[in-house]
Amino acid sequence: MPVERTNATTAGTTDEDYSAAYYAAHLGEDADYGWHNEAWRNFFRQAADRLVAVANPATALDVGCAKGLLVQALAEKGVDARGFDISTHAIESATPEVRSRLSVGSVTEPIEGRWSLISCIEVLEHVSPVDAQQAIDNMCAATDLILFSSSPTDFREPTHVNVNPTGTWVRWFAERGFYRRTDVNLSFLSAWAVLLERADLHAADVVQRYEDQFTSLNAEVLERRQAMLEKFREDSQRDDEAAEQARLSEAAAQSRVAELERQLLTQRDHVIGTEAAAARASVELDATVRRLRAARTAGKRQATRLESLRKELKYKRFLVKKQERQIQDLRQRVKRGEAELGSLRGSRSYRVGRFLTGPFRR
């Protein structure tokens, strides 16, 4: 965490830069940075577990400790842990359980005593280049083991006035006889966190350490590159197939568009013809309406005529029925006459008379 500016010519930050507003702005009010927050508490407890497993320190000093969360987590593990920070607000916000282990101070001041482990996590990017070198000197003078982490890429944070690549920081520590422990992985803290140990190493030892790590990392890189190449080839083949499919789809789409355009022209002609037919039908409808109106007028006259004809028909039906009765009577008379004639023809007198007047007469 932050440390103070030592003079007006350096570009460091001061206590006032790390008030409650700073923590709210950079961690968010919802983050609720403190030991009472379960997420932060679990994070620092896990970090303490790993540090004890890696270094097993009897004592530890957290430089730039903020609210002392790492100090409290290490103390729970039985480590005599202490911390200091330039931010008065941060120290005063610590929980009562850890408050006595914390103090307000600057990394530009000499560190009292000897420590099994000194941690400096995301601190030196907040101080000027000159003060950072003094801080490195102070830490190296007070311990043989340093956990160091400083963001190599975050230039957006206004208080990050001294951002450097991790390799640059490690070089500066190496100039003071501290070298990276290549057998330790601190990625649980950050991707750039390193554990630096004082060692009297020959150049060959340093080369071997880094070569051992480089070899495994390089093998992983080569393996990943090969996998990426194979994936690229597969993707390229799929892209070619997709491009061919897209070309065929485009050709089919163009053909479909041409067909739709032809259908549209046909439909337009049909619409034009339909509109002309509708116009003609409208004219015919008007004429039909006029004829209908005339027909209605004629119909009224015909209805009157029809009523007259109905009455006449009724009268003629009456006459027909009367004539039918007369015809029936005449038919009955004819039948009676025929019957009488038949009876007469069958009589003896008729036959005698016919004999006397017929062609057989002598």
Whether 297 is covered by a domain: the verdict is: no
Give me the tens of pLDDT residue by residue for the chain, a chain 362 residues long. Answer: 444 434 434 567 776 666 666 776 666 544 578 899 999 999 999 999 999 999 999 999 999 999 999 999 999 999 999 999 999 999 999 999 999 999 999 999 999 999 999 999 999 999 999 999 999 999 999 999 999 999 999 888 888 999 999 999 999 999 999 999 999 999 999 999 999 999 998 777 677 666 666 566 667 777 788 888 888 888 888 888 888 888 888 888 888 888 888 898 888 888 898 888 888 888 888 888 888 888 888 888 888 888 888 898 888 888 888 888 888 888 888 888 888 888 887 888 877 877 787 665 54
In this predicted structure, what is the pLDDT of residue 198?
A: 97
Whether 124 is covered by a domain: the verdict is: yes
Whether 344 is covered by a domain: the verdict is: no
Q: Residue 149: which domain range?
A: 15-200
In the chain, the number of structural domains is 1
Let me know: does 79 contact 59? Beta carbons within 8 Å.
yes
In this predicted structure, what is the pLDDT of residue 8?
A: 39
In this predicted structure, what is the pLDDT of residue 302?
A: 82
In this predicted structure, what is the pLDDT of residue 214?
A: 59
Whether 51 is covered by a domain: the verdict is: yes
In this predicted structure, what is the pLDDT of residue 120?
A: 97
Whether 61 is covered by a domain: the verdict is: yes
In this predicted structure, what is the pLDDT of residue 313?
A: 85
Residue 201 CB neighbours (<10 A) = 15
In this predicted structure, what is the pLDDT of residue 1?
A: 47
In this predicted structure, what is the pLDDT of residue 211?
A: 63
Whether 305 is covered by a domain: the verdict is: no
Whether 192 is covered by a domain: the verdict is: yes
- The candidate with the shortest Cα–Cα distance to 165, out of 179, 154, 180, 152, is 152
In this predicted structure, what is the pLDDT of residue 2?
A: 44
In this predicted structure, what is the pLDDT of residue 116?
A: 98
Total length of the chain: 362
Whether the model clears a pTM of 0.85, i.e. scores above it, the answer is: no
Whether 272 is covered by a domain: the verdict is: no
In this predicted structure, what is the pLDDT of residue 6?
A: 41
CATH number for the domain that contains residue 192: 3.40.50.150
